[in-house]
């Protein structure tokens, strides 16, 4: 189950959740935990926007872990991840130059990455791919994170081309596709 928190300090050029920049429903931590419990999920993914921009995100993650859920956090990587409960699996973006937010990368977060986490690159071009490969090597991300994900920016990079680049370079990464875009065509709520 996804819990989407509103608000994000970044403005990535490919953002597919601009509807999450504002609005939503103001809820207490208790109300969120109760709503989650009503669906009886095993797995809860807290996403955004940028969840860590919300002052109660860290307590929410702790509460969800304490309630026995398997919890993950999808974050832009622009804010400090060291404050996140160690029980939470973090999916941390490294923003590529094509995102228009590469200057927001918080490289000190890499020291916090564990085998329980994933590092994700959204690839907008061949130049982004080459940049991501250089960061993969420079920081040894495949040895630090549980998985490194290369995801094509929807409508900007051909999936097959990205797959071919990965195979040709024999990269220790996983090609990640956003299945909700294939199945539901970018409709909010999926």
Burial class (CB in 10 A: 0-12, 13-18, 19+), 156: middle
Q: Would residue 80 count as lying in a domain?
A: yes
Ligand-binding annotation for 14, yes or no, is yes
Ligand-binding annotation for 45, yes or no, is no
Distance CA 83, CA 81 (A): 5
Ligand-binding annotation for 47, yes or no, is yes
Q: Would residue 73 count as lying in a domain?
A: yes
Q: Would residue 90 count as lying in a domain?
A: yes
Q: What is the domain count for the chain?
A: 1
Ligand-binding annotation for 8, yes or no, is yes
Q: Would residue 128 count as lying in a domain?
A: yes
How far apart, in Å, are the Cα atoms of 128 and each of 58, 94, 99, 133, 185? 31, 11, 9, 9, 24
Rounded to two decimals, the pTM is 0.89
Q: Would residue 190 count as lying in a domain?
A: no
* CATH number of 172's domain: 3.20.20.70
Domain enclosing residue 10, as ranges: 2-184
Q: Would residue 189 count as lying in a domain?
A: no
What is the pLDDT tens value at each position of the chain, 190 positions in all?
999 988 776 666 665 655 555 667 888 999 999 999 999 999 999 988 889 999 999 999 999 999 999 999 999 888 999 999 999 999 999 999 998 778 889 999 999 999 999 999 999 999 999 999 999 999 999 999 999 999 998 788 999 999 999 999 999 999 998 665 566 666 565 5
Pairing status of strand 43-47 against strand 2-4: parallel
**Sequence-distant (≥ 6) Cβ neighbours of residue 116 within 8 angstroms:** 86, 89, 90, 146
Ligand-binding annotation for 104, yes or no, is no
Ligand-binding annotation for 16, yes or no, is yes
Q: Would residue 19 count as lying in a domain?
A: yes
The b-or-e profile of 75-85 (16+ CB within 10 A means b, else e) is bbbbbebeebb
Query: Quick check: helix, strand or coil at residue 28?
Result: coil
Q: Would residue 147 count as lying in a domain?
A: yes
């Amino acid at each position: 189950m996804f819990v989407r928190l509103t608000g994000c300090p970044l403005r990535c050029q490919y953002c597919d959740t601009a509807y999450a920049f504002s609005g939503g429903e103001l809820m207490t931590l208790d109300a969120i935990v109760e709503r989650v419990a009503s669906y009886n999920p095993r797995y809860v993914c807290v996403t955004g926007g940028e969840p860590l921009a919300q002052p109660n995100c860290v307590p929410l993650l702790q509460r969800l872990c304490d309630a026995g859920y398997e919890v993950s956090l999808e974050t832009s990587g622009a804010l400090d991840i060291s404050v996140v409960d160690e029980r939470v699996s973090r999916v941390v973006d490294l923003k590529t130059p094509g995102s228009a937010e590469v200057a927001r990368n918080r490289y000190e977060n890499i020291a916090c990455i564990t085998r329980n986490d994933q590092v994700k690159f959204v690839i907008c071009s061949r130049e982004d791919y080459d940049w991501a490969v250089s960061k993969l090597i420079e920081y040894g991300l495949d040895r630090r994170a549980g998985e490194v994900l290369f995801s094509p920016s929807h409508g900007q990079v051909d999936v097959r081309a990205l797959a071919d680049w990965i195979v040709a370079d024999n990269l220790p990464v996983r090609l990640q596709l956003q299945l909700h875009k294939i199945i539901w065509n970018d409709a909010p709520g999926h």
